[in-house]
Amino acid sequence: MVAGLEVSDAVVRYGQVTAVAGVSLTVPKGQVVALLGPSGSGKSTLLRAVAGLEPLVDGAVRWDGEDLAAVKVHRRNFGLVFQDAQLFPTMTVGRNIAYGLRKLAKDAQLRRVDEMLELVGLPGFADRRVTELSGGQAQRVALARSLAPSPRALLLDEPLSALDTGLRRRLAEDLARILRETHTTAIHVTHDHQEAFTVADSVAVLHDGRLLQLDGPDALRREPATKEVAVFLGFRAFVTEHQAHELGWSGSLPVGSVLGIGPSSLVLDETGVEVPVVDQGYTVEDVEIGVRLPDGQRAVVSAPERVDTVTVRVRLIGGAVTPA
């Protein structure tokens, strides 16, 4: 018997379209698993199936070994947080959070509301009107409302995707802290791999309804299971061991593998290999300089500022060991 949440060979179809194709994964109690993939990969559909909002054509969802097929949504004791917060606009923040606490005495409700507001960084907001909240504050309140009844698991469907990049990064860090402080079992859906790596203990990469890999963030970055996974994670160029050594790398590759090159795999180095600059662009944190490798592939090197030369010298310091 698996302690926690178990999804076994889950299949969801819409007519002739298979949205989830035989996905299996487990979420141990107190752990967070991110469902990561592009739009249409089946991650939100899988989350809805776990919640009981979508029927399974085949497979099962279990909690502590109990099959939940016959258990209605409201009796599964799973908290839900969506992209748009879905707060009740006619209620105060406090009343929103207390909505699932109606079995408690009034004073116990008030204490729990205060605890939740402290947890999500909004102390003193109980009497605030929902319409006065910013997008980030609204999502914090939605999280507090979902955690208040102490659900056995929390299901988050891209709760940060509508926020601007800087705020999304900050809230991802806060969300990770909150889930760990409360020892919450959770599934977090996102299309942003940095967000997934920040929030989750393990990341399930989905594509076309299939589970491509389930692993910890470090393992995913070091050894993606396929080139498909590596490309989704930002590795765009792939070189052999010989080519990697020519670029200054000192490691070795298993037989049948290549090294994926991402933005942090290359560094500017005056003693490195000279390569032409093909383009440059800004990210939130740095500049990404597009370069042409000796074999013609385009790669990216992160730098603190733009360069004004037509070539740069680079050295390869790492990468993702990927099946060829």
| 153-205 pLDDT per residue, tens | 999 999 998 888 888 889 999 999 999 999 999 999 999 999 999 999 999 99
Helix (H) and strand (E) counts in the chain? 9, 17
Does 205 share its domain with 254?
no
Does 200 share its domain with 265?
no
* Number of domains comprising the chain: 2
Reported as a single tens digit per residue, the pLDDT across 200-248 is 999 999 999 999 999 999 999 999 999 999 999 999 999 999 999 999 9
Domain that holds residue 89: 4-226
Q: Kindly give, in sequence order, each residue whose CB lies less than 8 Å from that of residue 122, ignoring residues fewer than 6 positions away.
A: 93, 137, 140, 141, 144
Q: Which residues pair with 79 in a beta bridge?
A: 154
Domain boundary among the residues 159, 192, 226 is at: 226
Q: Mean pLDDT over all residues of the chain?
A: 95
pLDDT confidence of residue 162: 83
Alpha helix segments (H runs only) across 182-320:
193-199, 217-222, 227-232, 241-246
Interval 256-281 mean pLDDT: 96
CATH number of domain containing 194: 3.40.50.300
Does 135 share its domain with 259?
no
Does 146 share its domain with 170?
yes
Residues 236/240/244/247 CA torsion (nearest 10 deg)? -80
Does 268 share its domain with 178?
no
Predicted TM-score (pTM) of the model is: 0.92
Does 186 share its domain with 266?
no
Does 242 share its domain with 217?
no
